[in-house]
């Protein structure tokens, strides 16, 4: 048999059928997404007033993404050419020659890598864009459905989230599988291109979306909630539309692209390490590559199965299994997915791969995703000690509130490392006897397992901004209504929103942890890949290890460790500045007579414009730093030190990201806990009290930490790792300092310095420049309804 020409790569019949099934699963999940989309779109969009608000959000979000795409396209173009040419630095690999013949190997690999890069970038973009558009379609419909009942509103929001989840699964699985089908054992080059495209786009979406959303959110809150004492989403606040747009471009588009990229990168590094194992495994078994693909397909099926069971749990006949509420039903369905995946992974591992340890790794991964729930939840839940301690600290003002939140964030980061370390130790114990490459592969398999249920995760995560937006639309469209039905609908929306906050926080924890596991897998690929390249180039001393005891490597470690700090510093500064501009804008508009009384409609577009300018301005600089730094470090300190650099990035990145995410989450919930108290200003409790104000300061500080700086590190860690992998052949080849190399290094460093300086420029001037220079060219926002 020779299905899809797979026999050429040495696959036996079972393996050929399995790969076909994997491919089919990918298409199936895309089809499922399409079907869900139709279901959601059938629902009504509510009153004209609701659609008016909704349209403003939709246009703001669409125009932001369009402008973002226009901004990054030139850089993508340059990188596409660079990637094509990069293949020519080293002779074609043994595997590529075997697959495509001596003559064609190089050009095919070059074209393959380039197409894969574009494919990765487009998929990441698609997941982000379509996911966000879907969320926007869903929010107004969920708001409208809330007038009819809780369950309908919930299912609209959850199914819309599931669509994005299925897109992530489908496109990620399709990309990895098709590359393997075409390139077989020569796949690594193309896989790297695919991974790089995905992570780079995710970086843009995360950074841009993160800055946009928090500049608007912080700005809106500082004036609205703190100074004017008006509720969130009050239509008199000029930044309220920007805030709602931000939820979509940040929490939806940014998050979806980010998780897609982790999903993709784990499969990329899993396949690269699998191919490395295949080369040294005495039986040259293809199982090291086929197993992870099968697991991924099983995961997708489990995810779909899980989403099917959501409506069942609230009506389940056995009492102790019956879900008490929507939240519990979602978690129960997640557990169904987990059990299913673990069961099938053992079946496949034992009967096909004849190695039960592989299934253990998958189970550890699945378990890790589950284990992060209680961990994140302990440090950020309103019911646990850390948040209560922050609430206690609000009694003595904002300073102690901040201090105690910082402390909570730091501690949570320590335990997150401990959990990850435990999973590594198990992987180590399982494969210790087999050799170092096996252990590295084992770590990558934990990553594969961990991201099995990306479908559910993305669904639960996207659900958050959808219900948040629905709530906002309700607040704005119904602000002058106070009948019984509206009050009930409002309560439903608020409940949905609360569930969304929990699911969002939990999936964020999983996203960061999986990002680190994915980065460690890439780091592992780096180690095996550099050796391969060196042998190909005939280097005498092949790198077998990355020794931090070597001063050069230690220097690399220090520099790498510093990079996430630079990145966070720049993105925080961007938000702080942009939020300051928004505050001044909103304050200015509130001074317009009649505004506070709600008689004049604010100019929402200006706040959207300021957020957009602030976000756009960071895109190129931060991407340039992530792409150029590893190459510069590699050329100056050479390839082993580059390994140290990557280790440093992973270490600092993990610690910083979790610290920022959980500190932010804890402050957020501490504020909520105070808001839930009885409002009594003399006892200093509840909304409007001094304690509440301290809580709001904490929440506001936490917002950009948890939604901009923290999450931006996820794709950044992986972009630097992938760039290092791709640039490794160049670095190995030009390991002697010549005048040419020095010139290139100087240019690279100049680029980094330019990027830092550019990022530190004020956003307002850019916004003004933008308006002055391009006012004619600005797209006319037609209020088209679909």
Judged by CB under 8 A, the chain residues 633 through 672 that form the site for a copy of itself are 643-644, 647-648, 651-652, 654-655, 659
Query: SS3 sequence, 475-520?
Result: HHHCCCCCCHHHHHHHHHHHHHHHHHHHHHHHHHHHHHHHHHHHHH
Closest contact distance (angstroms) between CB of 240 and a copy of itself is 18
Q: Which of residues 574-593 bind a copy of itself (CB under 8 A)?
A: 575-577, 579-580, 583-584
- Of 33, 300, 38, which Cα lies nearest the Cα of 163? 33
User: What is the number of other CB atoms lying within 10 angstroms of the CB of residue 14?
Assistant: 12
Residue 687 gets which letter from DSSP? Answer: T
Tokens of 250: 């940040």
- Of 566, 570, 568, which Cα lies nearest the Cα of 578? 570
Close Cβ partners of 446 (under 8 Å, ≥ 6 residues apart): 361, 364, 365, 368, 423, 424, 427, 517
For residues 289 and 641, which CB has a smaller minimum distance to a copy of itself in the complex?
641
Sole binder of a copy of itself in the list 78, 399, 681, 743 (CB under 8 A): 399
Q: Which of residues 174-233 bind a copy of itself (CB under 8 A)?
A: 218, 222, 226
Euclidean distance between CA atoms 694 and 391, whole angstroms: 9
Q: Is 413 in the site for a copy of itself (CB under 8 A)?
A: yes
- Of 203, 64, 152, which Cα lies nearest the Cα of 621? 203
Sole binder of a copy of itself in the list 238, 245, 402, 615 (CB under 8 A): 402
For residues 101 and 435, which CB has a smaller minimum distance to a copy of itself in the complex?
435
Closest contact distance (angstroms) between CB of 583 and a copy of itself is 4
Closest contact distance (angstroms) between CB of 76 and a copy of itself is 27
Contact flags string 694-733 toward a copy of itself, x per CB under 8 A: --xx--xx--xx----------------------------
For residues 338 and 759, which CB has a smaller minimum distance to a copy of itself in the complex?
759
Mapped onto helix, strand or coil, the DSSP state of residue 680 is strand
Tokens of 569: 């510093």
Q: Is 445 in the site for a copy of itself (CB under 8 A)?
A: no
Sign of CA dihedral 685, 686, 689, 692: positive
For residues 171 and 752, which CB has a smaller minimum distance to a copy of itself in the complex?
752
For residues 112 and 367, which CB has a smaller minimum distance to a copy of itself in the complex?
367
Provide the phi-psi class of 559: left if phi over 0, else alpha when psi is between -120 and 50, else beta: alpha
Closest contact distance (angstroms) between CB of 520 and a copy of itself is 7
Sole binder of a copy of itself in the list 434, 486, 569, 735 (CB under 8 A): 569
Binding segment toward a copy of itself, per CB under 8 A, in 332-340, 500-508, 573-581, 775-783: 573-581
Euclidean distance between CA atoms 126 and 175, whole angstroms: 13
Closest contact distance (angstroms) between CB of 382 and a copy of itself is 19
Contact flags string 672-691 toward a copy of itself, x per CB under 8 A: --------------------
Q: Which of residues 253-282 bind a copy of itself (CB under 8 A)?
A: none
Q: Is 766 in the site for a copy of itself (CB under 8 A)?
A: no
Alpha-carbon distances, residue 327 vs 220, 261, 321, 463 (angstroms): 29, 27, 14, 11
For residues 164 and 652, which CB has a smaller minimum distance to a copy of itself in the complex?
652
Q: Which of residues 505-534 bind a copy of itself (CB under 8 A)?
A: 520, 523, 527
For residues 114 and 700, which CB has a smaller minimum distance to a copy of itself in the complex?
700
Q: Which of residues 415-444 bind a copy of itself (CB under 8 A)?
A: 417-418, 420-421, 424-425, 427-428, 436, 439-440, 443
Closest contact distance (angstroms) between CB of 557 and a copy of itself is 6
Mapped onto helix, strand or coil, the DSSP state of residue 74 is helix
* Torsion (CA) 516, 213, 132, 653 in degrees, nearest 10: -10
**Contact predicate 456/334, CB 8 Å:** yes
For residues 359 and 570, which CB has a smaller minimum distance to a copy of itself in the complex?
570
Please identify which residue in the block is written with the tokens 């990309």: 175
Query: SS3 sequence, 107-128?
Result: HHHHHHHHHHHHHHHHHHHHHH
Euclidean distance between CA atoms 755 and 618, whole angstroms: 9
Closest contact distance (angstroms) between CB of 347 and a copy of itself is 28
Q: Which of residues 533-552 bind a copy of itself (CB under 8 A)?
A: 545-552
Helices (H), 394-435: 398-431
For residues 193 and 556, which CB has a smaller minimum distance to a copy of itself in the complex?
556
Closest contact distance (angstroms) between CB of 245 and a copy of itself is 21
For residues 174 and 526, which CB has a smaller minimum distance to a copy of itself in the complex?
526
Sole binder of a copy of itself in the list 230, 312, 562, 741 (CB under 8 A): 562
**Contact predicate 555/564, CB 8 Å:** no
Mapped onto helix, strand or coil, the DSSP state of residue 314 is coil
Q: Is 554 in the site for a copy of itself (CB under 8 A)?
A: yes
Sole binder of a copy of itself in the list 307, 568, 589, 612 (CB under 8 A): 568
For residues 474 and 648, which CB has a smaller minimum distance to a copy of itself in the complex?
648
């Amino acid at each position: 048999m020779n299905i899809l020409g797979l026999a050429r790569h040495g696959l036996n019949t079972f393996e050929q059928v399995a790969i076909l099934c994997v491919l089919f699963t990918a298409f199936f999940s895309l089809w499922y997404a399409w079907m869900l989309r139709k279901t959601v779109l059938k629902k009504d969009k509510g009153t004209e007033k609701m659609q008016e608000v909704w349209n403003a959000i939709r246009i703001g979000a669409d125009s932001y993404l369009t402008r973002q795409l226009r901004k990054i396209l030139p850089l993508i173009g340059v990188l596409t050419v660079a990637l094509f040419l990069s293949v020519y630095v080293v002779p074609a690999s043994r595997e590529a020659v075997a697959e495509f013949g001596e003559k064609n190997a190089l050009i095919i690999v070059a074209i393959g890598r380039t197409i894969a890069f574009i494919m990765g970038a487009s998929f990441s973009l698609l997941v982000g864009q379509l996911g966000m558009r879907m969320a926007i379609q869903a929010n107004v419909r969920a708001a409208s459905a809330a007038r009819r009942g809780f369950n309908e509103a919930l299912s609209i929001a959850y199914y819309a989230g599931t669509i994005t989840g299925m897109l992530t699964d489908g496109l990620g699985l399709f990309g990895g599988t098709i590359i393997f089908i075409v390139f077989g054992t020569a796949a690594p080059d193309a896989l790297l291109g695919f991974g790089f495209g995905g992570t780079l786009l995710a970086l843009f979406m995360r950074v841009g979306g993160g800055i946009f959303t928090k500049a608007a959110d912080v700005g809106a809150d500082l004036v609205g909630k703190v100074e004017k004492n008006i509720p969130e989403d009050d239509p008199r606040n000029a930044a309220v539309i920007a805030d709602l747009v931000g939820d979509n471009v940040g929490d939806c588009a940014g998050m979806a692209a980010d998780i897609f990229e982790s999903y993709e990168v784990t499969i990329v590094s899993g396949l690269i390490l699998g191919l490395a194992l295949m080369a040294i495994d005495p039986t040259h078994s293809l199982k090291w590559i086929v197993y992870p693909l099968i697991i991924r397909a099983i995961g997708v099926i489990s995810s779909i199965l899980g989403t099917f069971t959501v409506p069942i749990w609230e009506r389940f006949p056995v009492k102790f299994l019956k879900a008490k509420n929507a939240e519990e039903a979602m978690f129960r369905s997640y557990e169904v997915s987990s059990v299913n995946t673990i069961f099938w992974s053992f079946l496949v591992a034992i009967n096909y791969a004849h190695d039960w340890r592989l299934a253990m790794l998958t189970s550890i991964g699945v378990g890790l995703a589950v284990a992060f729930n209680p961990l994140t939840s302990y440090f950020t839940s309103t019911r646990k000690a850390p948040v209560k301690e922050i609430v206690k600290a609000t009694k003595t003002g904002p300073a102690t509130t901040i201090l105690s939140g910082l402390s909570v964030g730091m501690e949570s980061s320590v335990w997150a490392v401990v959990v990850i370390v435990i999973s590594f130790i198990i992987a180590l114990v399982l494969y210790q006897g087999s050799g170092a490459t096996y252990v590295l592969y084992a770590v990558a398999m934990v990553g594969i397992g961990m991201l099995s249920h990306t479908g559910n995760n993305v669904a639960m995560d996207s659900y958050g901004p959808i219900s948040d937006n629905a709530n906002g639309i309700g607040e704005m469209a119904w602000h002058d209504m106070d009948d019984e039905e509206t009050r009930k609908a409002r309560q439903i929306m608020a409940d949905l929103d609360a569930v969304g906050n929990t699911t969002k926080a939990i999936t964020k924890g999983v996203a960061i942890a999986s990002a680190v596991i994915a980065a460690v897998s890439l780091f592992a690929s780096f180690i095996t890949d550099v050796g391969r390249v060196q042998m190909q180039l005939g280097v005498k001393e092949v790198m077998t290890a990355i020794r931090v005891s070597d001063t050069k490597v230690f220097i690399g470690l220090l520099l790498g460790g510093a990079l996430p700090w630079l990145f966070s510093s720049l993105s925080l500064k961007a938000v702080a500045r942009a939020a300051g501009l928004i505050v001044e804008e909103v304050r200015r508009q509130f001074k317009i007579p009649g505004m506070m009384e709600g008689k004049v409609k604010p100019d929402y577009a200006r706040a959207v414009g300021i957020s957009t300018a602030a976000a756009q301005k960071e895109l190129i600089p931060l991407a340039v730093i992530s792409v150029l730094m590893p190459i510069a470090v590699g050329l100056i300190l050479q390839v082993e030190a580059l390994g140290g650099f990557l280790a440093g990035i992973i270490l600092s990145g993990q610690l910083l990201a979790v610290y920022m995410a959980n500190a932010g989450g804890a402050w957020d919930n501490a504020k909520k806990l105070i808001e839930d108290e009885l409002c009594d200003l003399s006892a200093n409790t509840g909304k409007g009290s001094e304690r509440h104000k301290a809580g709001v300061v904490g929440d506001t500080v936490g917002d950009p930490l948890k939604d901009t700086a923290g999450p931006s590190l996820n794709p950044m860690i992986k972009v630097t790792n992938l760039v290092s992998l791709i640039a490794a052949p160049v670095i190995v080849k030009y390991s002697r300092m010549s005048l040419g190399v020095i010139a290139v290094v100087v240019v690279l460093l100049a680029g980094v310095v330019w990027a830092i300086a550019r990022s530190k420029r004020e956003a307002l001037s850019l916004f003004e420049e933008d308006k002055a220079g391009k006012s004619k060219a600005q797209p006319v926002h037609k209020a088209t309804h679909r």
